[in-house]
Amino acid sequence: MTRTAKKLRILLADDHELVRRGIRGLLRARGGWKVVGEAVNGREAVEKTTKLKPDVAIIDISMPDLDGLQATRQIREATPNTEVVILSMHESDQMVRRVLEAGALGYVLKSDLATHLVRAVKDVSGGKLFLTPKVSGIVLKGFLKTASQPGPAGHLQVRPTPREVEIIRLLAEGNSNKKVAADLGITVRTVETYRAKIMLKLGLHSLAELIHYAIRSKIVPQPGASE
């Protein structure tokens, strides 16, 4: 039984009671979902997530003790089966990239909570990346601005992590998601998640563009090049 087919267990972390109350109301309207814990700061969010192991953690990016980015990194390290949705007031493509790099799968502006939070929770619980249309537009605008800069273009300004480089290399060498998963000892869904985040982070739109990026960045050798 998939997580979306059973009762979804959710942890909510925000230092404002009114915000948590509003989110509880949104989630309560979705039958079969349950808020199993709440936190008022980042450290408490990590502790409760580690203990309760919810399917999804909804984390405010601005909290005391640990901010949302720090909390997300620690949550993904301690409980990799818990997906994270970040709540933010920041309309910045750089912030979105930082959130994705931290390991979150969802980014929802607080102004869009009522419209998009339920869909965000549903999507990330199934391992899908979720950005609201407004956030997607912000990210696209940032990519276009970066791509228009002269010189060795913006791809080099956004550097993939070592794990992402490893996955880029394997994909660019022609391996399937299943083969990459087997080689790295992770699930196919995790590979798919990494792939989606890499494409978004680097502004790529196809496997061909990923291969070109890998060659240009010397992650894989150019075809026909001597060893």
Has residue 149 got a pLDDT over 80? Answer: no
pLDDT of residue 172: 87
Whether 172 contacts 130, CB under 8 Å: no
Whether 26 contacts 74, CB under 8 Å: no
Residue 160 phi/psi, 5-degree rounding, is -70, 155
Q: What is the mean pLDDT of residues 25-48?
A: 94
Give percent above pLDDT 70 in the chain: 86
On average, the pLDDT of the chain sits at 84
At residue 160 the predicted structure's pLDDT band, cuts being 50, 70 and 90, is: confident
What are 83-97's pLDDT values in tens digits?
Answer: 999 999 988 878 887
At residue 168 the predicted structure's pLDDT band, cuts being 50, 70 and 90, is: very high
pTM over 0.75: no
108 bridge partner residues: 87
pLDDT of residue 151: 44
What are 120-132's pLDDT values in tens digits?
Answer: 999 899 888 888 8
pLDDT of residue 5: 46
Burial class (CB in 10 A: 0-12, 13-18, 19+), 6: exposed
What are 57-80's pLDDT values in tens digits?
Answer: 999 999 999 999 999 999 988 998
- CA distances to 3, 94, 122, 167, 219 from 133, in Å: 25, 16, 16, 27, 32
The structural domains of the chain, ordered by start, are 8-139 (3.40.50.2300), 149-216 (1.10.10.10)
Element holding 194 (H helix, E strand): helix 188-202
What is the edge-to-edge ordering of all strands in the sheet holding 56-60?
A: 33-39, 8-13, 56-60, 83-88, 106-109, 130-131
